[in-house]
Amino acid sequence: MLLSIWTTLLVAVSGIQIPFTLDTGDTDYVKPHYSLVDEALHPIDLSQYADEIVLRARKTPELLRFLRNENFTIWANNAVESTIDFQLPALAASHVLLRFALSDARVIIKDLAQAVFELYPEEYSGKQFGEYSAESAQSFEDYAALLFETLSKKEAVAAATDMFFKLYRSLDTINMWLDMLAQTYPEIMLLENIGQTFEDRPLRLVHISVPSPDYPEEKKRTVVVTGGVHAREWISVSTVLYNIYEMLNHYENPDLVDELARLNFLFIPTLNPDGYEYTWSTDRLWRKNRQQVSEDEQHPCKGIDIDHSFDFHWTESSDSICGEDYAGSKPFEAYELRMWNDYLNKTNINHTIWGYVDLHSYSQEILYPYAYSCDQSPRDEENLIELAYGINKAIRLTSGKFYTVLPACIDRDSDLLPDMGSGSALDYMYHHRSYWAYQLKLRDTGAHGFLLPDKYIQAVGEEISAGLKYFCRFILDNE
Ligand SMILES: [Zn+2]
């Protein structure tokens, strides 16, 4: 219904026909249209996305610069197809399409407010976020307690975990689930807080290491997996969590026991906890962290893009303080990264890091270093590419999904806009800390983009778990 209103408006305002097709992936909505639901029952303020759409268009340097200068939100780049996905008001679409002659552009999300509305659980309706989050964690705890009364410890955890992955979860429930795992597997799993964020949330690490007389800690190879660097990429958080459980659930599996004994895992499910909570409480599409970036207390803009804040080829961003890619005024200005870097400097783990995998969304890509420039080849490019294709195959054999392998500089458009590639986690970890490093952009390829429905949590968890197992085997075999 709304779509036809927009179509009419567009035609009325611009006098032209919309020059793109409207085949979209977001047609499987199950809730009533948000505009028909009392605003008091909306989980967050949905009017902030009203009449916004997401377009996919052929990428040109002019379009890219325009989108950045005008502060339009860029959702994704597709380097292979040479397209760009970006968010804009429906009413601005015809102007942009005509100005840049984007005759083959198409709408990939036609009703952003509704797509956001669909993502939040029914139980959030009519509540403040704090209330919903506490209630949701409590009901998960009650359910788990019932399971523990009737089942063995490991069966109870398995059943509770099955329930856990049916929805995306806010930090209260995530922390409760992690505590439950740590209590169930105390000999293997250790939870550690390495400091407090700007908004005073703990930055939590999950260590998993199977004790073995043959492989004491200092002989093990460490694999670091991070998620939630960008707040709105919820699937990256759930996928790190899924992989934590996979490792715990299979450590006694005879096929894996020797490999797991040789490894030490360090998982950070949410490297940006403040941003993640903000996507639950206020703005589903927030990307940066939430720290104050201006001396002026009244300054409306907050946050640093964590993936531009690492101290490797860091440069000042051409984006404004309010922009989505704002890199801060110096490297490691982001609170989370200072904590993470201090932690690496003072622990022995630092000397044993073999692999780093940073999960993001969306686009289904396996990106290898470097991000900052395509002129600089990584020290062992052939091996990195070989391993990337191995991960690609492991994913494909699990779910049939295809993840494109490419250097991160192409995905970042570092050739067009050099500062877009600066200060990334991938480059810093690869150059200073780890032998192997990748950034994986998870599902999908644009039908839902950042708003991937929760019914895909398990499937994405499984395919990435297959990829991670392949990654571990490869780095153990490779001297
Ligand atoms: Zn990201």
Q: Which fold has domain 2-119?
A: Alpha-Beta Plaits (3.30.70)
pLDDT at site 306: 95
Write down the pLDDT at residue 323: 86
Q: How many CB atoms lie within 10 A of CB 206?
A: 23
Q: How far is CA 471 from the centre of its chain?
A: 19
Q: DSSP assignment of 437-461, as one string?
A: EEEEEES-SSSSGGG--GGGHHHHH
> Is the pLDDT assigned to residue 167 strictly greater than 70?
yes
Residues 175-204 have a mean pLDDT of 97
CATH 3.40.630.10: which residues of the chain?
147-477
How confident is residue 257, by pLDDT bands cut at 50, 70 and 90?
confident
**323 vs 231 pLDDT, higher one:** 231
**Count of other CB atoms within 10 angstroms of residue 262:** 15
Distance (Å) from CA 251 to ligand 1 centroid: 30
- Residue 322 CA to ligand 1 center (angstroms) comes to 17
How much is the pLDDT for 27? 60
Segment 201-213 shows an average pLDDT of 95
Is the pLDDT confidence value at 5 over 50?
no
Q: Which of 40, 49, 34 lies closest to 1, judged by CA?
A: 34
Report the top-level CATH class of 147-477: alpha beta
**Distance of CA 208 from the midpoint of ligand 1 (Å):** 25
Q: Which two tokens stand for residue 419?
A: 């500062």
Tell me the average pLDDT of the chain: 91
Name the segment(s) of the chain with CATH classification 3.30.70.340: 2-119
Give me ligand 1 centre to Cα 310, in Å.
14
Q: Residue 256 C-alpha to ligand 1 middle, in angstroms?
A: 31
So what's the pLDDT on residue 136? Answer: 97
Q: Give the model's pLDDT for residue 299.
A: 67
Single out the residue of 291, 301, 280 nearest to residue 336, CA to CA: 291
Residues for the chain: how many in total? 479
pLDDT digits (tens, 9 = 90+) for 185-197: 999 999 999 999 9
Summarised one tens digit per residue, pLDDT across range 370-419 is 999 999 999 999 999 999 999 999 999 999 999 999 999 999 887 777 77
Report the pLDDT value the prediction gives residue 20, as an integer from 0 to 100.
42
Residue 77 has pLDDT above 60, yes or no: yes
Instruction: Output the pLDDT for position 428.
Output: 97
Average pLDDT of span 165-190: 97
What are the residue ranges of helices labelled H in 39-111? 61-69, 90-99
197 CA → ligand 1 middle, Å: 19
275 within 8 A of 389, measured Cβ to Cβ: no
- Residue 299, token pair as written in the block: 């300054």
CA of 305 relative to ligand 1 center, distance in Å: 9
Distance 479 CA to ligand 1 centre (A): 31
Distance 203 CA to ligand 1 centre (A): 18
